[in-house]
Amino acid sequence: MEIIVADVNGFCGGVKRAVKMAFDNAKEGVYSYGDLVHNEIVVKDLEDKGVKKIDDTDVYDSKVIIRSHGVHKKILDKLEENNNEIINCVCPKVEKIYNIVENFYKKGYNIVIVGNYNHPEVIGINSHCNDSATVISDLEDIKIPDGKIVVVSQTTNNVEFFEKAINIIKDISKDEVLVYNTICNATFKRQESIRSLSKKVDAVLVFGGKKSSNTKKLAEIAKLNCKNVFLIQSIKDIDLNIFKKFNKIGITAGASTPESVIKEAVCRMENFDKGEMMEAIDNSFKRI
As annotated, the active-site residues are 121
The residues binding ligand F3S (CB under 6 A) are 12-15, 68, 91, 93-94, 155-156, 184, 186-187, 214, 255
Query: How far from 186 is each of 8, 143, 165, CA to CA, in Å?
Result: 8, 29, 21
Q: Which residue is nearest to ligand F3S (CB)?
A: 14
Name the residue nearer to ligand F3S (CB basis): 154 or 228. 154
**Shortest reach from residue 210's CB to ligand F3S, in Å:** 17
Beta bridge partners of residue 250, listed in sequence order: 4, 204
Contacts of 109 (CB under 8 A, 6+ apart): 147, 148, 149, 150, 178
Helical residues (DSSP H) of 127-231, grouped into ranges: 159-172, 185-197, 213-225
Task: Please report how close the Cβ of residue 108 comes to ligand F3S at its closest, in angstroms.
Answer: 27
Nearer to ligand F3S, 120 or 250 (CB): 120
User: Would you say 193 or 214 has its CB closer to ligand F3S?
Assistant: 214
Q: What are phi and psi of 16, to 5 degrees?
A: -55, -45
Q: Which residue's CB is nearer to ligand F3S, number 66 or number 255?
A: 255
In angstroms, what is the minimal distance from the CB of 276 to ligand F3S? 39
Whole-Å CA distances, 69 to 28, 37, 45, 122, 157:
24, 8, 19, 9, 13
Answer for the pair 46, 19: CB distance below 8 angstroms, yes or no: yes
CA-based nearest residue to 65, from 54, 78, 77, 49 = 54
Distance of closest approach, residue 60 Cβ to ligand F3S, in angstroms: 28
Question: Please, what is the end-to-end C-alpha distance for the chain in angstroms?
Answer: 27
Shortest CB 19 distance to ligand F3S, Å: 10
β-sheet bridge partners, residue 151:
112, 179
Angle, in degrees to the nearest 10, between helices 185-197 and 213-225: 30
| Residue placing its CB nearer to ligand F3S in the complex, 110 or 191 | 191
Q: Compare residues 218 and 255 and give the one whose CB is closer to ligand F3S.
A: 255
> How remote is the C-alpha of 12 from its chain's centroid?
9
Q: How many angstroms separate the CA atoms of 49 and 30, rounded?
A: 10
- In angstroms, what is the minimal distance from the CB of 193 to ligand F3S? 14
